[in-house]
Amino acid sequence: MSSSIFALDWGTSNLRAFRLGADGTCHDQRAAAKGILAVPPGGFEAALTDIIGDWLTEAPDAPVILSGMVGSRQGWVEVPYAEAPAGIDALLAKALPKTLKDGRTALFLPGVSCLRDGVPDVMRGEETQIIGALALAGLADGPVCAPGTHSKWVQVAGGRIVSFATYMTGELFALLRDHSLLGRGLVRNDAGQVQAAPPDLARAGFERGVAQAFADPAVLRTLFSTRTLGLFDKIPALALADYLSGLLIGAEVAAALPEGGRGTVPVIASAALADRYAWALALRGYTAQPISGDAAAVAGLAHFATAYLRQGR
Amino acid sequence: MSSSIFALDWGTSNLRAFRLGADGTCHDQRAAAKGILAVPPGGFEAALTDIIGDWLTEAPDAPVILSGMVGSRQGWVEVPYAEAPAGIDALLAKALPKTLKDGRTALFLPGVSCLRDGVPDVMRGEETQIIGALALAGLADGPVCAPGTHSKWVQVAGGRIVSFATYMTGELFALLRDHSLLGRGLVRNDAGQVQAAPPDLARAGFERGVAQAFADPAVLRTLFSTRTLGLFDKIPALALADYLSGLLIGAEVAAALPEGGRGTVPVIASAALADRYAWALALRGYTAQPISGDAAAVAGLAHFATAYLRQGR
């Protein structure tokens, strides 16, 4: 059994690499804006060497374990999705090994698919962060939220991912801000970027959007209020982007979490985004537990790495 | 009382002009892609002469009545919104007259505003079409739908507009088709335009989207299925744009019309768009009555014109 392992969360836009001991302790870590879209065809092994070549040289027998879009059709090795429900063992059983030029093994973890009422959903990389976030939160069950361009809400029971759903919240916000009629009503600087409101105003605008989303679940119908509330001077123009953000995140939270529930929900996000989800969750009666993407990734990868090393492969 | 009147539906992108008798009969009509955005500041009277100068010369005393965005801040004369509930008389009472250079009166009709749970909504021009469509359908009550970039669903009772809501369905579809991840999965021709599916396939894809929207009201959550159903080859790529259209129009219809209802709903739209709404409404148990925008506009303007002439102004 190797005494160390290199674990990578290699996504579409970014890469995180962790140098782990056999017990999962992280001894070193690196990040690079070298997502799979920035790697030329056939260039993945060279890209890996670019980033952690010195680690590889120092531990020539240590395996590499990889999670995320690097295991997709556009990545290095395509790994079919593991169907939910699935826990660490089921995901490891679906992982695909590849022998690198220097003889070491690289193990590519699968993404997860699920069926909701006959409609498939997929994720690749988030499942590792989900498992890590639950461990960090000391939970084996419950919903976990990984917000972003495509937010994931994941139901976990007994450490296994049972089901999940993807919400296109972040992408829709960016589309509406940058390309829609609503975007034309926002206050922008000379470079065309939306100007940030002072913190109190931003939070008030955001929470008003959340409240509106909770009161009316039809996003298609609530969106236009971003324009009319501005038109009638009922919300300061500077807070309209926050209101729109609240409308969308509020609709996501309302669809993902039952009303009248309570409890702690791990939210895997940067501090600024985690704040917004914390405000929306609080209005729904829940408590958000913010966990950074780095922390969730290394904790999740450590679980996979130690389980893999224990298998003695 | 003048024996004739010129009635205009002058919107953001287009203009329709009708030459009406005192009884509202349409004797001639013209259309031009000369919306208010195409008119330079101070150029509205010249634009009017460009389009119906010969009519104006032939009937120097005939008034002009105008509906639509021409009465907005970006238009010719800004007319404050009339608050719903409002019928023809209330709207006429809020209309603003202006004396043109040749001495005749131009009467600018107001748009309509309403409050839904304290949130304002507005329309300008659709109210005229709504009143016309109901008259053409022989109805004094019920919902009327004016689909498009920003779909309006309007509740009318006793000939008065009681309330309404704006759905950003058409704009959202265009954003998702042209700028989102979902748009990248659509089949396009060499010019980058989404390729139309054969009619049967298009309808099947659309209706599958409607069914999905009816089954799950959360648009933010259903949108991603456009990608996954394509990814798992569960819908032909050629039908994915229709599926996405069905998801959005289905969500609009589900939010606008109660389940288990029935009855006829006038739908003011071009034939192709009216077909889609008719399919969605049928799956909800309703019957769409398609009415063209031209027909609805002239019928509505005729009501305003005859009521105005009867006032003897």
Report the chain A residue with the minimal C-alpha distance to residue B152: A221
- Domain presence at residue B149: no
Q: Are residues B281 and B298 in the same domain?
A: no
Q: What is the ipTM of this complex?
A: 0.94
pLDDT exceeds 60 at position A266: yes
In tens, the pLDDT along A173-190 reads 999 999 999 999 999 999
Query: pLDDT category, A172, cuts 50, 70, 90?
Result: very high
Selecting from B181, B228, B251 the residue whose C-beta is nearest the C-beta of A121 gives B228
- A85 with A50, same domain? yes
- Distance (Å) from the C-alpha of residue A178 to the closest C-alpha of chain B? 10
Please report the beta strands in A125-260, taking only residues with DSSP state E, as ranges in sequence order.
142-146, 151-157, 160-167
Q: Please report, for the domain that includes residue A273, its CATH number.
A: 3.30.420.310
Q: What is the pLDDT of residue B1?
A: 56
> CB A171 to CB B165 under 8 A?
no
Q: Does A211 touch chain B (CB under 8 A)?
A: no
Q: Is residue B16, in this structure, part of any structural domain at all?
A: yes
Same domain membership, residue B129 and residue B80: yes
pLDDT at A213 (0 to 100): 98
User: Is B209 within a domain?
Assistant: yes
Mean pLDDT of B211-238: 97
Q: What is the pLDDT of residue B76?
A: 97
Residue B313 has pLDDT above 90, yes or no: no
Structure tokens at B228: 């996954």
Report pLDDT for B260.
84
Q: Is A255 on the interface with B (CB under 8 A)?
A: yes
Question: What are the beta bridge partners of residue B153?
Answer: B145, B165
What does the pLDDT read at residue B262?
A: 87
Q: Which H or E element spans position A256?
A: helix A240-256
Instruction: For residue A120, give the nearest of B150, B172, B229 by CB distance.
Output: B229
Q: What is the phi-psi region of residue A138: left when phi exceeds 0, alpha when psi lies from -120 to 50, beta otherwise?
A: left
3-state helix, strand, coil in chain A (%, to 5): 45, 25, 30
Chain A touched by B171 (CB under 8 Å): yes
Give A-chain residues touching B179 at CB under 8 angstroms.
175, 178-179
Between CA B150 and CA A208, with CA A223 as vertex, the angle to 5 degrees is 155
Q: Where do the DSSP E strands lie in chain B?
A: 4-10, 15-21, 26-32, 64-67, 82-83, 96-99, 105-108, 112-116, 119-123, 142-146, 151-157, 160-167, 264-268, 287-291
Q: Do residues B182 and B127 both lie within one domain?
A: no
Instruction: Give the best residue of A224, A233, A277 to mutate against chain B (max B CB count within 10 A).
Output: A224
Contact residues, chain B, for A167 at CB < 8 Å: 218, 220-221, 224
Whole-model pTM: value is 0.95
Q: What is the mean pLDDT of chain B?
A: 95
Closest of A104, A103, A109, A100 to residue A128, by C-alpha: A109
**The token pair that represents B197 in the structure block:** 């599916």
Size of interface A-B (CB pairs under 8 A): 115
CATH of the domain at A45: 3.30.420.300
Identify whether residues B81 and B178 lie together within a single domain. no
Q: Which domain holds residue A138?
A: 4-165+293-310
- Angle between helix axes B169-179 and B240-256 (nearest 10 degrees) is 160
Q: Please state, in angstroms and rounded to a whole number, the distance separating the CA atoms of residues B37 and B12.
A: 6
Beta carbons of B234 and A120 less than 8 angstroms apart:
yes
CB contact (8 A) between residue B217 and residue A220: no
β-strand partners of A264:
A287
pLDDT at position A1, please? 56
A217 and B218 within 8 Å at the Cβ level: the answer is: yes
- Name the closest residue on chain B to residue A165, using Cα atoms: B221
Express each pLDDT in B242-297 by its tens digit.
999 999 999 999 999 998 888 999 999 999 999 999 999 999 999 999 999 999 99
| Same domain for A27 and A147 | yes
Determine whether the interchain pair A167/B220 forms a contact, defined as Cβ–Cβ distance below 8 Å. Answer: yes
If asked whether residues A215 and A262 sit together in one domain, one would say yes
What is the domain count for chain B?
A: 2
Residue A236 has pLDDT above 60, yes or no: yes
Per-residue pLDDT averaged across A32-48, rounded? 94
Residue pair B262/B286 in contact (Cβ under 8 Å)? The answer is yes
A168·B224 Cβ contact <8 A: yes
pLDDT above 80 (res A312): no
- Regarding whether B118 and B173 lie in a shared domain, the answer is no
> Is B208 within the bounds of a domain?
yes
Q: Do B217 and A212 touch (CB under 8 A)?
A: no
Does A77 reach chain B within 8 Å, measured CB to CB? no
Cβ separation A228–B120 shorter than 8 A: yes
Q: Do the Cβ atoms of A167 and B225 come within 8 Å? A: no
My answer on whether A191 and A137 are in the same domain is no
Are B14 and B102 part of one and the same domain?
A: yes
Among B181, B215, B248, whose Cβ lies nearest the Cβ of A220? B248
pLDDT tens profile B119-128: 999 999 999 9
Q: In this structure, is residue B176 part of a structural domain?
A: yes
Residues A218 and A150 in one domain: no
**Biggest CA-to-CA distance, chain B:** 68
Sequence letter at residue A45: E
Q: Is A313 a residue whose pLDDT tops 60?
A: no
At B161-214, the pLDDT tens digits run 999 999 999 999 999 999 999 999 999 999 999 999 999 999 999 999 999 999
Asked if A150 has any chain B CB less than 8 Å from its own CB, the reply is yes
Residue in A closest to B252 by C-alpha? A220
Q: Residue B3's pLDDT is what?
A: 82
* A residues 178..207 contacting B (CB < 8 A): 178-182
Average pLDDT over residues B224-238: 96
Instruction: State residue A167's pLDDT score.
Output: 98
**Whether A157 and A171 share a structural domain:** no
Mean pLDDT, residues B45-64 taken together: 96
A4-10, strands of its sheet edge to edge? A26-32, A15-21, A4-10, A64-67, A105-108, A96-99
From B165, B232, B234, residue closest to A221, measured CB to CB: B165
B228 in any annotated domain:
yes
Quote the Cα angle for A197-A202-A205, to 5°.
Answer: 125
Average pLDDT score over chain A: 95
Residues B120, A172: C-beta atoms closer than 8 Å: no
Q: Please give the helix or strand (H or E) that residue A122 lies within, else none.
A: strand A119-123
Question: B15 in a domain, yes or no?
Answer: yes
Q: What is the side-by-side order of every strand in the sheet holding A112-116?
A: A82-83, A112-116, A119-123
Q: What is the pLDDT of residues B12-27, one digit of tens each?
A: 999 999 999 999 999 9
B145 assigned to some structural domain: no
